[in-house]
Amino acid sequence: MSTLDPDYLLDCLTQMLEIPSPSLHGEAMVAWLTPRLEAAGLAVTHTVRGDLLAQWPGDSPRRAITTHLDTLGAMVVQLKASGRLAVRPIGHWNARFADGARVRVHGDDQGVAALGTLLPLKASGHVYNEAVDAQPSAWDHLELRLDLVDTTPAGLARQGIEVGSLVSIESQTRLTDTGFINARHLDNKAAIACVLAALRAGASVKGTRLVFSCAEELGIGMSRPMLEGIEEVLNLDIAAQGEGQNLCHDGVTIAMMDSLGPLHPRATQALLRLCEQHGIAHRRDCFPYYFCDGDSASQAGMDLRNALACFGADASHGWERVHIDSLMALSRLVEVWLATSDR
């Protein structure tokens, strides 16, 4: 009998959503995750670039579960004479979802140097009239307004804001009484919460390495140092709703194919059997514009079987939303997958 705790899952998720972690800037997430994994009896190590690995002490795992801890973000590329900042995205996300976002600007020590809002260049209809509607939705047509009094270049420098300063996007999390979680960065902190919920319920990771990568949104998720001895990878990530898609809103979406091609049939069929055997709601889907952690390892020539299981969400890389039932189903799949022997 599963003892998965939805309250614990949601508590972990809401805490993580408040932690800034754009790609390659995951130190705070690693610091939050490490003691929770160690409390489950796991030995935790880190790669040079900042990925987190966890496994049973002395184990020689042949399988891995990967979830990425990095999120989308932005970086300051220009200090404008107007006091506004030009930014470019970290990861692949459309500027239309940046319009109106509340953000934090970080100094070189990763502390918060200022708060602000991403706005279109023509942000006021009282000034620009119909030109507001005519401007393109593109990063070149956005700028960052800071909640600072002195926004001269010299003043910004004194406050720790320079070209190259990190910009993290606030999650603006909202839980509803109908079971929905609305937030930016559900991709992929929701999947991490599912892993933590499975561990809390007593799932054993013997024979499995947990990999939390810090650069998936850059398309360089996993590489050889993270997968020494690994033959099969269960990628956990987001499934996106849209025209022509077949995702499962209240269960698990099993990817049969992504932009790199088919996921490995042996690993994928095993997931489908587990869902059927344990009554886990699921559907199959194919993702036309999608790249997961394991794809980067495959492109690097590693000899792996990749499978991809996802929680079902709306508006991926934008104003994301998922239902707790989908997260609980994915947690259950993680539980039963960990309980199986190497296939």
Residues of the binding site: 68, 187, 217, 237
| β-strand partners of 175 | 181
What separation in angstroms does the CA of 206 have from each of 20, 40, 188, 224, 337? 31, 12, 24, 20, 12
What is the distance between the alpha carbons of residues 231 and 305, in angstroms, rounded to a whole number? 6
Q: Which token pair is 10?
A: 């949601």
N- to C-terminal Cα separation, the chain:
23
- 216 included as an active-site residue: yes
Indicate the DSSP class of residue 64: E
For 116, counting Cβ atoms within 10 Å of its Cβ (0-12 exposed, 13-18 middle, 19+ buried), the class is buried
Nearest alpha-carbon partner for 22 in 164, 159, 147, 145: 164
Q: Are strands 102-106 and 73-79 parallel, antiparallel or unpaired?
A: unpaired
Catalytic residue among 143, 216, 232, 320: 216
In total, the chain counts a number of residues equal to 343
Residues of the binding site for Zn(2+): 68, 187, 217, 237
**321, 171 in Cβ contact below 8 A?**
no
The residues assigned a catalytic role are 216
